[in-house]
Structures are given as structure tokens and as C-alpha cells.
Amino acid sequence: MSYQVKLQISPVYDLLSSLMAYSKCSKAFDLDNQWVKKVRNELDKDFMAEMDSLSLPFPLIALLIWRCPDNSNLDAVTNWLASLTVGEVFEQVSPFLLENVPNDIGTIKNDVISVFTQWYTKYYKDQELKIQKLLSQERDRFDDCLSNLGPQKTIEMFCNGLAIEEHEELKEVVLVPVYHTKPVNVVFDDYKGFLIILYPVEAPEENDLFPPDRLMRMTRALADEKRLRILKILSSGNRSFTDLVEVMELSKSNLHYHLSLLRTAGLISIHHVPFTNQDKYGIRAGVFDDVKQMLERYVFH
């Protein structure tokens, strides 16, 4: 294997993912428009206006968190950022970015400190202990999987079917467990030689009378003719997005929607070749046995 995989656990990454869930308001996230509205009702108008006026560069912010000597808590990260001059921030990120460092990197640094500090106080602080306990449980699972399965299979298991293919320029993949952007993998591939992947961690089910979220995603994904046709096509082998557009005769946006539902349900895999546009989709091995087992476990236990 040409690359290594490492795990980083920090609530600061999840704080970042909560800002992404709030700012992007994607239908792919479990935390939907209703959650955004609820949070907005709890924020003061000045901070909402500040948030609405900014377009935060999330890949750059993830890189800054990764570069921080101590990213175990928000104070450590913001104090480190505050101590850096604009030139020092440039030196921290420029060797790692594929693109040029933004000209307004000093403004970005100040915006990150301001938004992160206020967002933590007004929203995230009340979530931190519960989420940190959830995220910290990933360490033992990661160590066990890595020793038994190796880097690529570990990534595929943790990222629900995301397979990172080898590439001569790829040296390291950093896996980061987060809660707020579940069930989506957020892949930051804006860097030289490595990737940062925010992967989703599910909270334990609180009531066994209700079906698990993963089972609901699976059954919803299967309850559509177009998505079943996609699975049928993929049963004969991996296909590129372009291949699927031609065969399915769907618009690109429509196909993206259906593939997103199949991916977050864990029914299909995506074989991602870093630094290229050569991704291919396939059916995950054994996934239909998983559907059967999860359904039987929920119904009969």
C-alpha cells in the first residue's frame, strides 16, 4: 500500500462540521432545514448577520486545525491562530495547498477565530461533552480495524463504502470522526500528498421501538425504481458517473441525487482516485446480507 491512514479525534473538527451543516444546509445531511431554523432562533441577530456575510473556506480551515500543534480543544486552536502573524499563517499552509494561498489569509484567520469562538459559546458548548464521548470511542475500533484489515479496507469500513485508490502522489489519509455532517463523508482533497476525510459517527439508538437510522436510509434508498435500476447496472461492474448518465438517461443533478442516497445508505461504493476525475461506482460486497440482518435484528429483537 502506497499510503498510510491515521486517525485524528478532536471536537474542533466536529465544530467545523457543525458550521458546515449550518452554512451549507444540504439535504444530504441528517441535520436539515428544521435544525438550521432551530439553531438560528437561538442565535442573536448580529452573529447571524456575521455568519450570513461570510463564505468560510472549509478545506483551508481543516488544514489549519490539522497544522495546529495542539488541536485537542478550541482554545488551543484559536490561541495558536491568534499568535500567528499573517506571514506565519502563510508559511503554515502554503507547502500543503494545491492552489495558491488566498490573498486575504489574514482576514480569514480573524474570521475563523471570531466565528469559532462565538459559535462555540452560542451553540456547540452544550453539545461538546456528549459528542466528544461519542467520537473518542472510535480509537479502539480504528486500531483494531487497521491491524486486521489494512489501510484501504479500514477507510472503506469507516467511510461506509468509500475506497481510496492508490496514487503515486498520495502519502497519507487522515480520518476524522464527526457527528454533525452525518451520514456524509466530507473529503478534503485540496492538499499536496494527503487527504482529510471527515467521516460520520452515529449516535446510539435511544429507543429500540424505532428503526435505526442506517436501516431507514437503506430501505428508503431501495424504495425507488431509478435507484434499483442503478444497482442493477452496477451489478455487472463498476461504472463512472459519465457511464451512468448515458445508461440511465438522467440529468447530472438527478443522478447525483440518486447516487447520494445510495452512497449514504452504504449500498454502493465509490472508488476515489485522488487528484483525478476517475471515480467509479460499484455495489458493496455483502451489502444485501447487511440489509437482511439489520431488518431481522430490528423486527425480531
Residues 243-269 have pLDDT tens digits of 999 999 999 999 999 999 999 999 999
Which among 164, 185, 204 is the end of a domain? 204
Helix axes 11-24, 58-67, angle to 10 degrees: 170
- Give the integer Cα–Cα distance in Å for 227 and 204: 28
User: Sheet holding 268-272: strands in order across?
Assistant: 162-164, 268-272, 280-283, 239-240
Q: Does 172 share its domain with 64?
A: yes
Total number of domains in the chain: 2
Q: Residue 122: which region, alpha, beta or left (left: phi > 0; alpha: psi -120 to 50)?
A: alpha
Q: Which residues pair with 174 in a beta bridge?
A: 6, 196
What is the band of 276 on the pLDDT scale with cuts at 50, 70, 90?
confident
Which among 174, 204, 234 is the end of a domain? 204
User: Sheet holding 172-178: strands in order across?
Assistant: 4-7, 172-178, 194-200, 186-188
- Give the integer Cα–Cα distance in Å for 131 and 120: 13
Q: What's this model's pTM, rounded to 2 decimal places?
A: 0.94
pLDDT of residue 301: 81
Q: Does 193 share its domain with 275?
A: no
Q: Does 227 share its domain with 137?
A: no
User: Grid coordinates 473556506 are at which residue?
Assistant: 57
pLDDT of residue 246: 94
Asked whether residue 274 carries a pLDDT value surpassing 80, the answer given is yes
pLDDT of residue 66: 98
| Mean pLDDT across the chain | 94
Segment 58-77 mean pLDDT: 97
Q: Which residues pair with 7 in a beta bridge?
A: 175
CB burial of residue 193 (10 Å; 0-12, 13-18, 19+): middle
pLDDT tens digits, 135-147:
999 999 999 999 9
Segment 224-231 mean pLDDT: 97
Q: Does 185 share its domain with 262?
A: no
Angle at 146 between CA 143 and CA 152, to 5 degrees: 145
What is the band of 180 on the pLDDT scale with cuts at 50, 70, 90?
very high
pLDDT of residue 67: 97
What is the band of 230 on the pLDDT scale with cuts at 50, 70, 90?
very high
* Residue 194, SS3 per DSSP: strand
Residue type present at position 38: K
Angle at 275 between CA 272 and CA 281, to 5 degrees: 20
Segment 178-203 mean pLDDT: 95
Owning domain of residue 249: 213-300
Q: Does 24 share its domain with 131?
A: yes
Segment 32-48 mean pLDDT: 91
Asked whether residue 1 carries a pLDDT value surpassing 70, the answer given is no
Which among 187, 204, 221 is the end of a domain? 204
Q: Does 177 share its domain with 253?
A: no
Segment 273-284 mean pLDDT: 90
Q: Is the dihedral of CA 20, 25, 27, 29 positive or negative?
A: positive
What is the band of 195 on the pLDDT scale with cuts at 50, 70, 90?
very high
Q: Does 18 share its domain with 151?
A: yes
Q: Which residues pair with 280 in a beta bridge?
A: 240, 271
What is the band of 280 on the pLDDT scale with cuts at 50, 70, 90?
very high
In terms of Cα–Cα distance, which of 34, 30, 271 is closest to 156? 271
Asked whether residue 206 carries a pLDDT value surpassing 80, the answer given is no
Q: Does 113 share its domain with 228?
A: no
- Give the integer Cα–Cα distance in Å for 294 and 215: 7
